[in-house]
Amino acid sequence: MWFPYLSADRIRHRSRHNKAAPAREKGAPLVFIEKEKSALRLAAGDARAEKLGLSPGLALADARARIPELEVVDMDRAADAAFLERIADFCDRYTPLVALDAPEGLILDITGCAHLLNGEDRLHADIKKRLTALGITLRASIAGTPEAARALARFGREKIVPAGGEPEAVFRLPAAALDLAPQTVQALSRAGLKTVGALAERPRPPLAARFGADLIARLAGVLGERDLCITPRRPMPPTMAERSFAEPIGLEDDMLAALRSLAGHVCASLETRGEGGRGFEAAFFRTDGRVFRIGIETVEPQRDPAVLMRLFRERLGALPDPLDPGFGFDFMRLAVIASEPAATPQASLDGNEAAEQEVSDLIDRLIARFGRDAVRRFVAVDSHIPELAARTVPALGAAEDGTAWTSLGGTPPASRPIHLFDPPQPIETLAEVPDGPPLRFRWRRAMHDIARAEGPERIAAEWWRADGLTRDYYRVEDDSGRRYWVFREGLYGLEAERPRWFLHGIFP
């Protein structure tokens, strides 16, 4: 698919919601310019500019001399690329294998998809009809190889080439249809090889020796002798289900009902294959070409439609902007973007598996509502300094993140507060020297008299840290019943002249 007036179509597509420029309303040709070697030159134009001979590369001054009422717009290649991506999103409804042929083309692998629209003729006509209705000019051809289809769309007539008919279809195309460098095309022209047919009739070894092996490879592709796989924008999902609607839908209940039906199909497919999905994506195609994609992830492989629907409802309910149906959605697709083998769960007598499943379900729902990065879990770190002994990672992160939690066997672990300050907060303390517990301390301008104290729990400094000092931790309770975790940093007279005290945590 080639979009010869992509920049102009983008401007006009945007102008549907805004007032067009006065010159355009009067029918003036539209051209796009960019600076090239200190001169402003035409980079693209619309159909009217092309008919008037205003081709890319022409100086703007020369173009104005010919057509004074010319409408001139700065070339915006980034905006054109974004517009091409939107068109590619629209074309996802025909096949999940859509590749960019930048700067103004797309390649669709419709193998196995044409029968869904009753043949290649109907599919070709449907693409033309829908994109033309959106104000996008295109030329599209269907052939056995992407190179042949591309050459016909850009340099020949729009055509549906039957299997094996590529040599005859491209015989009269110019040598530039091989997508070669301009210098190579010029050299071929000087040698009298101006068409693909002229090249095809020549022996390949001399051509390769003079013009390079790339010419032979491209020639083989255009002639249908070599079929290369395209590189799609999005990976091919292992399982998917889709549905088109005769009349666009816009009510949330209708959307959820259609999504539930698609979930049933993909889950049945996963069960047949003995797999479960870890990532799912629902795509909603609007009639004006816009596509909304909603994704969910699960901790455990899932193939239960009810679970998927609950997660999708959570995700839809948490969207900052609800799905805008506009004039309605006419196509939906549910794809499994990640899957892995999954056995049928067996109930255990101790109930541990049920508890783990409840935790997994909770994580799935939290991720669906708040996002993957907002839900985290603790992993152990090889350090005995309290604030360094654990860190958080995404709950759906790799299992090998961090180190394994160590078991103390029969020894009960030391009590730790749930809330730790990082870094610990300095406090003013009255304590017995050299190593007595605090009698009172001031924290945040409030004095706390200690009623009970337990400790010390001595934590030595890690020798590989240059600034580490020994810590003596105490669990203390003030006269109001509030419990704190405080420590003295440094051994009196050995590591510090006046050890400092810190509040590290609060017990519930």
342 vs 302, residue with greater confidence: 302
Q: Where are the alpha helices (DSSP H) in 171-283?
A: 182-190, 196-200, 204-211, 213-222, 252-272
For 505, the 3-state DSSP assignment is strand
Mean pLDDT of the 342-367 span:
73
**pLDDT score of 252:** 87
Per the listing, tokens 């999103």 go with 89
Pairing of strands 71-74, 30-36: parallel
Q: What are the beta bridge partners of residue 438?
A: 431
Predicted confidence (pLDDT) per residue in 146-159, tens digit = 999 999 999 998 98
Residue 375: which of 298, 300, 308 has the closest Cα?
298
How many Cβ atoms sit within 10 Å of the Cβ of residue 308?
A: 26
Is residue 175 very low, low, confident or very high in pLDDT (cuts 50, 70, 90)?
Answer: very high
Predicted confidence (pLDDT) per residue in 108-133, tens digit = 999 888 887 788 999 999 999 999 99
Q: pTM of the prediction?
A: 0.76
Q: How far apart are CA 75 and CA 44, in angstroms?
A: 8
Q: Residue 32: what are its φ and ψ, rounded to 5°? A: -120, 135
Pairing of strands 239-249, 329-341: antiparallel
Looking at the predicted structure, is the pLDDT value of residue 346 above 70? no
Looking at the predicted structure, is the pLDDT value of residue 423 above 90? no
Looking at the predicted structure, is the pLDDT value of residue 277 above 80? yes
How many Cβ atoms sit within 10 Å of the Cβ of residue 344?
A: 7
The torsion of the CA quartet 112, 115, 117, 120, rounded to 10 degrees, works out to 80
Is residue 26 very low, low, confident or very high in pLDDT (cuts 50, 70, 90)?
Answer: low
**pLDDT score of 455:** 81
Predicted confidence (pLDDT) per residue in 2-12, tens digit = 999 999 999 98
Longest C-alpha distance within the chain, in Å?
103
Question: What is the dihedral sign for C-alpha 295, 299, 305, 306?
Answer: negative
319 vs 174, residue with greater confidence: 174
Amino acid at the residue 12: R
**pLDDT score of 262:** 95
Here the tokens at position 101 are 């042929």
**pLDDT score of 27:** 75
For 226, the 3-state DSSP assignment is coil
How many Cβ atoms sit within 10 Å of the Cβ of residue 205?
A: 9
Q: How far apart are CA 20 and CA 336, in angstroms?
A: 43
Here the tokens at position 318 are 């948490």
415 vs 148, residue with greater confidence: 148
Is residue 352 very low, low, confident or very high in pLDDT (cuts 50, 70, 90)?
Answer: low
**pLDDT score of 38:** 83
Q: Residue 241: what are its φ and ψ, rounded to 5°? A: -140, 145
Give CA separation, 269 vs 240, 273, 277, 476, in Å. 9, 6, 11, 60
**pLDDT score of 260:** 94
Is residue 37 very low, low, confident or very high in pLDDT (cuts 50, 70, 90)?
Answer: confident
Please tell me the least confidently modeled range out of 68-82, 250-264, 353-367, 391-405.
Answer: 391-405
**pLDDT score of 413:** 63
Please tell me the least confidently modeled range out of 355-359, 421-425, 436-440.
Answer: 355-359
Predicted confidence (pLDDT) per residue in 364-374, tens digit = 888 888 888 88
Amino acid at the residue 404: A
Counting residues of the chain whose pLDDT is more than 90, the rounded percentage is 47
